[in-house]
Amino acid sequence: MSSAGFEIRAISGHAGPVPGAGLKREFEVCKLIDTTTCIGCKACEVACLEWNGYSFSETKFDNSYQTMPETSWNYWNLIKFNEHEDPDHGLMLLMRKDQCMHCEEPGCLAACPADNAIVQYVNGIVDFQQEHCIGCGYCISGCPFNIPKFSPDARKVFKCTLCVDRVSEGLEPACIKACPTGCLHFGTKPEMKELAETRAEQLREHSGFANAGVYDPAGISGTHVIYVLHDASNPENYGGLPSNPRIPWTVQLWKHPLKWIGNLAIVGGLLGLVVHYLRFGPKTLEEDKQKKPGAGQ
């Protein structure tokens, strides 16, 4: 089972109900990222590496301040830099801290076939259990945010844990701890939602960002990492943040209707053959009839 002692809500690839479901009530946690006060210092990138014990990877320069094009299996937290020409505000440098969103409906977990390789706690954290991961990479196809990354050496998949090991000890995630501007916050989901809405209202009323808003996408029933954006109507501008993320529909088709159609067809087919055999029996040849007169009809 998982390393953190949290109450579990969902288990990947698990036959039957979640053991001990509903025993305890727990707060839903949330990380709030205010892109409007991020200065792109990357302290959170370093803190993430430090806490999780990875060494600094080679950077890949792509004409921006960004450390590398995407997060990787040993680099879970990446500030995405985007230049944006805004009609009202001129040239803006948009900075968005990219990491696992800890979806309320995690596509990674829905797609995973291995029992216990991904668990979702009642507090909203989605945590990969590498000792149970079989390295199939289905989670990569389930995630709408391009987050789970395969390690060719470990042959397993890794991503941000929302510092589940710190949170279970009552600490905030390492990135929150490191942020010098206070653009990162950690608390319960209702608290963070309220703080985010207050900030968005401030931006709309006092800073001239008429479209400022909170990113907590409904297509996956919300996330446990939420953003304040200057322009919530164009999340794509922030390093490709999807405007309406959903679990890919083929993944849903595969995990729901196809599963039931397939199971019914296999079981129904096998039962049909048993009935056929009982009704008609094997085919007989002339030679069988000669050997055993009267047999076969």
Partner 1 sequence: MSEDTRVPPGNVLRYSFPERLVHWLAGFSYVYLMLTGLAFWSPWLFWLAFALGGGTISRELHSWVGLIFVVAVLLMFRMWHRQMHETAVDKEWWDAIPHYIRNEDEYVPTVGRFNGGQKLLFWGFLWCGLFLLLSGLILWFPNWVPWNLRYLRYIAVIVHPSLALITIGLFIIHVYMGLAMERGALISMTRGYVTIAFAKRYHGLWYNRVADDPSAKNETP
Answer for the pair 13, 112: CB distance below 8 angstroms, yes or no: yes
- Do 135 and 32 touch, CB atoms closer than 8 A? no
> Binder to ligand HEM among 136, 168, 191, 219 (CB under 6 A)?
136
- Among ligand SF4, ligand HEM, partner 1, none, what does residue 277 contact (CB within 5–8 Å per kind)? partner 1
Which lies closer to ligand SF4 via its Cβ, residue 30 or residue 112? Answer: 112
Q: Decide: helix, strand or coil at residue 179.
A: coil
Q: Residue 81 forms beta bridges with which residues?
A: 95
Given the rule CB under 6 A, which of 57-65, 109-117, 263-271, 282-290 is the region that contacts ligand SF4?
Answer: 109-117
State the Cα–Cα distance between residues 57 and 84, nearest whole angstrom. Answer: 28
Question: Which lies closer to ligand HEM via its Cβ, residue 269 or residue 293?
Answer: 269
The CB-of-188 to partner 1 minimum distance in angstroms stands at: 32
Q: Which is nearer to ligand SF4, 158 or 209 (CB)?
A: 158
Q: Give the span between the Cα atoms of 133 and 117, in whole angstroms.
A: 5
Residue whose CB is nearest to ligand HEM in the complex, by number: 136
How far apart CA 110 and CA 104 sit, in angstroms, is 11
Size of the site for ligand HEM (CB under 6 A): 3
- Two tokens at 85? 């020409």
Q: Does 101 bind ligand SF4 (CB under 6 A)?
A: yes
Contacts of 63 (CB under 8 A, 6+ apart): none
Q: Which is nearer to ligand SF4, 13 or 40 (CB)?
A: 13
Q: Is 84 helix (H, G, I), strand (E, B) or coil?
A: strand
Our CB check for partner 1 shows the closer of 125 and 147 to be: 147
Q: How far apart are CA 195 and CA 173, in angstroms?
A: 18
Q: Which residues bind partner 1 (CB under 8 A)?
A: 13-15, 70, 111, 113-115, 132-138, 140-141, 146, 149-150, 152, 155, 248-251, 253-254, 258-259, 262-263, 265-266, 269-270, 273, 276-277, 280-288
DSSP code for 127: E
108, 179, 192, 200: which one binds ligand SF4 (CB under 6 A) = 108
Task: Give the angle subtended at the CA of 146 by the CAs of 51 and 139, to the nearest 5°.
Answer: 90
Interaction partner, residue 128 (partner 1, ligand SF4, ligand HEM, none; CB < 5-8 Å by kind): ligand SF4
- Cα atoms in the 13 Å half-sphere on the side-chain side of 16: 2
Kindly state the number of chain residues that form the binding site for ligand SF4, as judged by CB under 6 A: 28
Provide the minimum distance between the beta carbon of 130 and ligand SF4 in the complex, in angstroms, as a whole number: 8
Residue 127: CB atoms within 10 A of its CB come to 22
Q: Based on CB atoms, which residue is closest to ligand HEM, 136 or 140?
A: 136
Interface residues with ligand HEM (CB under 6 A)? 113, 136, 254
